[in-house]
Structure 1
């Protein structure tokens, strides 16, 4: 819950009343903000609606007028329901209501813990491994929604994004940033144009967007979903491994725990060359490094710890062969 989030309470109440009138739901809902997006170009907030009976719903709202993604995401939830209902343990959030003006939608609340929460406070290494196994299974099912298409993969976007990040933020470690960017560029040359299947993809598959309940893994947030190379979703989730404590000997050439990769691919059944996978993992970690502000590291102990972990992971990754 975001205790001090500012929003128009009267507007939110009118949205709740619109839903209740349309759905024939009587009674009272309490409204609490649980998330505010930091994405550029959006003014998005997420609210938990708790009914007096105990039922909880989730309202997602874009406060910028004229945005089409709220309706698009809701329609994707509808379209994907039958596909995920055919899977015993994998689900997508259940759509409930789309606003008349398409500025908000309501879904059922997903019971469980985020994968992020489990990775930050695991009960054992085995529990960490199961997070990646369950994530692999969920993503494999999503990527099977429509037939894959042949695609060639290009890496220039990585370096364009690194350049933008370096321009927007004072890079905290110029020495490491320059050295690793140069090495990554050299490594990309032999990989440009490599085959990689194009699939229906989540587009933002990090560990906050997977809820793990009792026997059920449920995906959230399809705002960026589209057809794209499958490796991007895979690398996004595996990069969540940096929140997990690990010894240097446990880290593979992509900068993540070998065990995390192993358990992910027990259930995600598309394969990639080691070089393609490790390149994209290194790129993800380097992008995370490039987006850390100097002020954050100076003022925030958690940011300092995250920065130190990223540097250690990158150092270990780049000390190994890319195809290792």
Structure 2
């Protein structure tokens, strides 16, 4: 295994990962020729991500360190479900290559390219907005064959948002989030009077889980995929950018990019009620459930506060 040497505090964990991989390779003929290259990420006691090669192909090895975790099998099942309709030339997912549940090991295609949000930051501002319809098209392609009409769940999402807001450590955001929560309490009964669309969706659809390569977008990190309201991943994508100060079109609505809202509304043929009530409600939920940790930089807190102010101003008009 080559690559940078991990910090001393991580060496023990790294050696355990390598030892576990060697065990898996000895026990699983499909891994006999697999090679590790570099430790990309380590969450001690939970999971590790490594690059390497599998049957001559560049691959990512995702190893779950909790023996009781069902995550590798669950993610494998979702990836193999989605792969037949998500292997297009322009909109696709990383190809699932192999799973060994006994050793908590998932092998997927290593995708060359740049995460979408990083890609947008490096573009000229005038060239950023065209990325939004492409991202919306990816999500629509992923959800299209599983969409159903389901019971509204606004009250459930309101509870999640309230519980998360109670843990917000930054006073500057606490004051704003109390206002957002009041709006959500007002809007939830209205949303629960409407039909909601659900689908098997990504589950963590932020822009850096889309990789830009040549003329294609490839989705990665499908471990959180589940049947959820279609509006949830739209809100996740838009709010991830909004709370970091990235408004690609330069025009904000509900604290996020207005053309981004338009892109998702168009891709999913949202009704006026979905676009103007349910999606803003879910944007408010998303603003609260992603809690900034106590040690985050002040600039991030400031940008999140500015986003919250724009969101509150527009929720006031509903």
Question: What TM-score results when the alignment is normalised by the length of structure 1?
Answer: 0.82
1:248: Cα distance to partner?
Answer: 12
Structure 1 unaligned segments of length 5 or more: list them.
298-302
Q: How many residues align?
A: 307
1:238: Cα distance to partner?
Answer: 1.6
- CA distance in 2 between counterparts of 1:266 and 1:210 reads 19
1:135: Cα distance to partner?
Answer: 1.1
Specify which of 19, 34, 37 is matched with residue 31 of structure 1: 37
* Partners of 1:143 and 1:201 within 8 A in 2: yes
2:251 alignment partner in structure 1: 250
* Partners of 2:179 and 2:312 within 8 A in 1: no
- RMSD over aligned Cα, in angstroms? 3.1
Residues 106-255 of structure 1 aligned to structure 2 (within 5 Å): 106-119=107-120, 121-146=121-146, 148-173=147-172, 174-242=174-242, 243-246=244-247, 250-252=251-253, 254-255=254-255
The question of 1:12 aligning with 2:11 is answered: no
The question of 1:49 aligning with 2:52 is answered: yes
What secondary structure is seen at the aligned counterpart in 2 of 1:170?
coil
* Partners of 2:204 and 2:225 within 8 A in 1: yes
C-alpha offsets along residues 84-133 of structure 1, whole Å, 9 cap, x if unaligned?
13x331111111121151511111101111123224x2312344223322
Structure 1's 8 and 123: CA in aligned 2 closer, same or farther, altered over 3 A?
A: closer
- CA distance in 2 between counterparts of 1:71 and 1:247 reads 37
* Partners of 1:171 and 1:177 within 8 A in 2: no
- CA distance in 1 between counterparts of 2:204 and 2:312 reads 25
Question: What TM-score results when the alignment is normalised by the length of structure 2?
Answer: 0.83
Structure 2 unaligned segments of length 5 or more: list them.
none
1:68 alignment partner in structure 2: 70
1:300 alignment partner in structure 2: none
1:101 alignment partner in structure 2: 102
- CA distance in 1 between counterparts of 2:97 and 2:282 reads 36
The question of 1:280 aligning with 2:302 is answered: no
1:18: Cα distance to partner?
Answer: 3.9
Structure 1's 268 and 88: CA in aligned 2 closer, same or farther, altered over 3 A?
A: farther
Structure 1's 79 and 8: CA in aligned 2 closer, same or farther, altered over 3 A?
A: same
- CA distance in 2 between counterparts of 1:248 and 1:88 reads 26
1:91 alignment partner in structure 2: 92
C-alpha offsets along residues 160-191 of structure 1, whole Å, 9 cap, x if unaligned?
23343344453433322222222321232322
